[in-house]
């Protein structure tokens, strides 16, 4: 399971969740599959300031790349097929991707719309 990091940044003078980052372990992603599922759980690491590691090769995951599957109520999926279409013109070897970067408000939007009976305790809250 990837290391999950909630990255905070100052937005309009307030410290708010900005990126949800999945730092991947070597060969964790099977790019031959169509979807990568990960457990929805509170991030194991969060910062009150930006900690986005720009030295790692990352890939942006948009809200349209996120998949909810009722068969996996505590997991969220990332559409690898969509990412491959976007990445392959620029990256020859997909296994070099070391992190997925999700805009935190997009993730919060998806989680807020999960059916109540399938929602785990998983909140993206700004630090106060």
Q: Residue 22 above 80 pLDDT?
A: yes
Q: Is residue 31 in some structural domain?
A: yes
CA 37 to each of CA 11, 64, 67, 79: distance values in angstroms, whole numbers, following the listed order = 30, 15, 9, 9
**pLDDT tens digits for 33-85?**
999 999 877 766 777 767 678 889 999 999 999 998 888 877 899 999 999 99
Q: Is residue 125 in some structural domain?
A: no
Q: Is residue 107 in some structural domain?
A: yes
* Furthest-apart CA atoms within the chain: distance in Å: 43
- What's residue 33's pLDDT? 96
Q: Is residue 77 in some structural domain?
A: yes
- In the structure, what pLDDT confidence band is assigned to residue 125 with cuts at 50, 70 and 90? very low
Q: Residue 17 above 60 pLDDT?
A: yes
| Number of folded domains that form the chain | 1
Structural element, H or E, at residue 110: helix 104-112
DSSP letter at 96? Answer: G
Q: Rounded distance, CA 9 to CA 111, Å? A: 21
Q: Is residue 127 in some structural domain?
A: no
Q: Is residue 124 in some structural domain?
A: no
Q: Is residue 111 in some structural domain?
A: yes
Q: Is residue 15 in some structural domain?
A: yes
Tokens of 24: 């991947």
Domain with 77 in it: 3-118
Nearest to 9 by CA among 48, 58, 54: 48
């Amino acid at each position: 399971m990837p290391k999950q990091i909630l990255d905070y940044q100052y937005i309009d003078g307030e410290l708010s969740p900005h990126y949800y980052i999945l730092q991947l372990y070597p060969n964790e992603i099977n790019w031959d599959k169509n979807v990568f599922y990960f457990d929805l759980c509170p991030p194991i690491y969060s910062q009150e300031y930006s900690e986005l590691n720009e030295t790692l090769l990352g890939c942006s995951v948009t809200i349209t790349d996120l998949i909810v599957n009722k068969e996996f109520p505590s997991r969220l999926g990332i559409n690898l097929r969509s990412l491959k279409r976007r990445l392959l013109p620029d990256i020859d070897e997909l296994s070099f991707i070391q992190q997925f970067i999700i805009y935190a408000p997009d993730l919060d939007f998806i989680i807020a719309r999960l059916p109540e009976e399938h929602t785990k305790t998983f909140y993206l809250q700004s630090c106060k």
